[in-house]
Amino acid sequence: NEQLGTEVVQFYPGVSYRNLMVWAEGKHRVALTPPQDIVGQPVGEYLPKGEGEKVLRTLMEEALAVLRGHQFNQERVEAGKRPANAIWLWGHGKAPKLPKLTERYNLSAAMISALDLPRGLGLACGFEVVKVPGAPGALDTDYRGKAECALKELEKRDLVYVHLEATDDASHRGDVQAKMKAIESFDEHTVGPLLKELPKRGPHRVLAVCNHATPVALRRHTNDPVPFALYEGPTTRDRADARRGFNEADAQAAKVVLADATKLIGKLLGK
């Protein structure tokens, strides 16, 4: 902000590579490309295009000069690491005005996430935002800590949303082993403790769902249908669908398709 900030442009630090630039009265009819969509490609043809492109391109050019001589980058270069020598603007939009789910369904809810995007969505929907110490929203997150925090929140709330980013990060890196490890850790240390403890507290429902697909081979988001699993307990019923796995193949075999994803919350809440 000292070098590039103005009365209408301000920068705010986020988590990892996810930071925020606020442009007061900024233009929204501009094309900005997500960096994960152009990995390994020349970036020149993907610079901002449309309304306000000159302002945005100028900011990116000025950032090059600021970051090039920054002590942080000098230390990285001396240590044999790649410098963070540029900013990439993408994911633009205005703050949405969303209906508060807490009011719509008359319930109390909490959001557990280390990332600003789900935390912001939670706030917009009326959720209390909870951050777990040691859960930075990366591959080394505290999976068990998320479960323990969720169980604690459920002592005083009706609904808890637990967000995991590690699988998406691994996919963007193209690291299939890291993605498998993240899925296994989430299953063992987050889902496992929840399913073990919740039956002791009475009737409950657990929904596992992805917000998008990120194939490791492509290293970017796709529009493929995503699986979801809705479990109601406690139950002793031996249902065939209860023996399915949580994966794309089993989800397709179940032949349950929701064309309108906004209906899923109603199924979770039995509305």
Q: In the 8-state DSSP scheme, what is residue 240?
A: G
Angle in degrees, 0-180, between the axes of helices 166-173 and 176-186, rounded to the nearest 10: 170
Retrieve residue 226's tokens: 């995503």
Residue ranges per structural domain of the chain: 9-78, 101-269
List the chain pLDDT tens, one digit each, 271 residues: 788 889 899 999 988 888 999 999 888 899 999 998 898 899 999 999 999 999 999 999 999 999 988 999 999 999 999 999 999 999 998 888 888 999 999 999 999 998 888 999 999 999 999 988 765 666 778 899 999 999 999 999 999 999 999 999 999 899 999 999 999 999 999 999 999 999 999 999 999 999 899 999 999 999 888 888 888 887 655 555 566 777 778 877 877 888 898 899 999 998 7
* Sign, CA torsion 66/67/72/76: negative
Q: What is the pLDDT of residue 94?
A: 86
* Residue 95 pLDDT: 81
Burial class (CB in 10 A: 0-12, 13-18, 19+), 173: middle
**Domain at 101-269: CATH code:** 3.40.720.10
Name the burial class of residue 270, with classes exposed (0-12), middle (13-18) and buried (19+) by CB atoms within 10 angstroms of its CB.
exposed
Which pLDDT belongs to residue 47?
A: 97
Which residues touch 246 (CB under 8 Å, ≥6 apart)? 208, 227, 229
- Per DSSP bridges, beta strands 109-112 and 128-130 are parallel
With 0.75 as the threshold, say if the pTM is over it.
yes
Contact call for residues 166 and 15 (beta carbons, < 8 A): no
